Structure 1
Amino acid sequence: MTQQVVYTVHVEFGDCDPAGIVWFPNFFRWIDAASRHFFAERGVPRWEETAKTLGVIGTPLVDTHTRFVKSASYGDTLQVEVTIPEWRDKSFVQTYRVKRGDDLILECEEVRIFAARREGGGIRAVAIPPEIRRLCE
């Protein structure tokens, strides 16, 4: 299992719906940012660089499951706790716990792949580069 990385989000007025709670797609935007932040914190270069050196253009999402527990609102500071509990050949499981202090706001589990460009267009899953996995474990 990998180490935990925490990504902090400050909820702005525009992140909320007319009822004053965070509009749910914003959580997915923050989770996606937290995913990339995880790799940056572990020393993985930007995807533009790995595209040149390893052929890896990023880690697209292929499956997600989310459980919303409590709401969040304008002015809240949220911590997105990120870990990778499972590595597979061409994919990995990344988990997120969004918290406001001790309050759990949501839990999310994603499956992502390491992607490279496919000849003729599109992308394909590739084996996880050992150097990236080493940085993350």
Structure 2
Amino acid sequence: MAEAHTFAREVLVRFGDCDPAGIVFYPRYFEMFNNLVEDWCAQGLGTSFRELHGERKLGLPTVNVQADFLAPSRLGDLLRAELSVVKIGGASLTVAIRLLGEDGAERVRATLVLVTMDLAQGRATRIPDAMRTSILQFMPAGAD
């Protein structure tokens, strides 16, 4: 079971996620990562991408991704997607993502660096204080 500082949800591997060999085509995992970040913002931080981008004019682009593909996922698999915050800076944060099979085995492990961006100015901006407070709830004790 995930710890309190981890945001988690289930992800069903769909037909469109798979290549002709019947396994997840690796770029689809990057879509799963982005969907998890979007769900985390809405459900974990209480700020949907619609509100963030539309009303607040803030973006949260991914500026760096590192991923390890450890085992294949297949059509119909139900994965557990987990996100926790590893590091938080002035305008950026680093999140760790794990995708686990139904047996609990890690299928994919990734680290993403996200940056808060002022959409009107097109450049990085400091993470708003209220958002920072929410983000810190997903950071394990002892992390940066």
TM-score, with normalisation over the residues of structure 1? 0.88
Which residue number in structure 1 is paired with residue 85 of structure 2? 84
- % identity of equivalent residues: 24
Amino acid aligned to 1:21: I
**Per-residue CA shift, 1:88-122, capped at 9, x if unaligned?**
01100011000012111010001010011244xxx
Gaps of 5+ in 1: none
Matching residue of 2:100: 99
Tell me if structure 1 keeps the 8 A contact 2:87–2:93. Answer: yes
Secondary structure, counterpart of 2:63 in structure 1: strand
Distance 1:79 1:133 in 2: 25
Q: Take 1:45 and 1:13, find their aligned partners in 2: how far apart are those partners?
A: 30
Counterpart AA for 2:130 = E
Q: Which residue type is aligned with residue 27 of structure 2?
A: P
- Counterpart residue number, 1:124: 123
- In structure 2, how many angstroms separate the alpha carbons of the residues matched to 1:94 and 1:126? 18
- Give the aligned residue type for 1:127: R
The Cα RMSD (Å) is 1.7
- Report the AA paired with residue 113 of structure 1: V
Structure 2: gaps of 5 or more residues: 138-144
Shift of 1:85: 1.5
Q: How many aligned residue pairs are there? A: 132
Q: 1:10/1:52 Cα in 2 relative to 1: closer, same or farther (>3 Å)?
A: closer
| CA apart distance, 1:13 | 2.0
1:41-79 deviation digits (Å, cap 9, x = unpaired): 2243223323465442x2101111000100000110011
Match of 2:32 among 14, 27, 30: 30
- Residue pairs, 1:5-20, within 5 angstroms: 5-20=7-22
Tell me the TM-score normalized by structure 2: 0.84
Distance in 2 between residues matched to 1:80 and 1:21, nearest whole Å: 17
Summarize the Cα distance change of 1:16–1:124 in structure 2 as closer, same or farther, 3 Å threshold. Answer: same
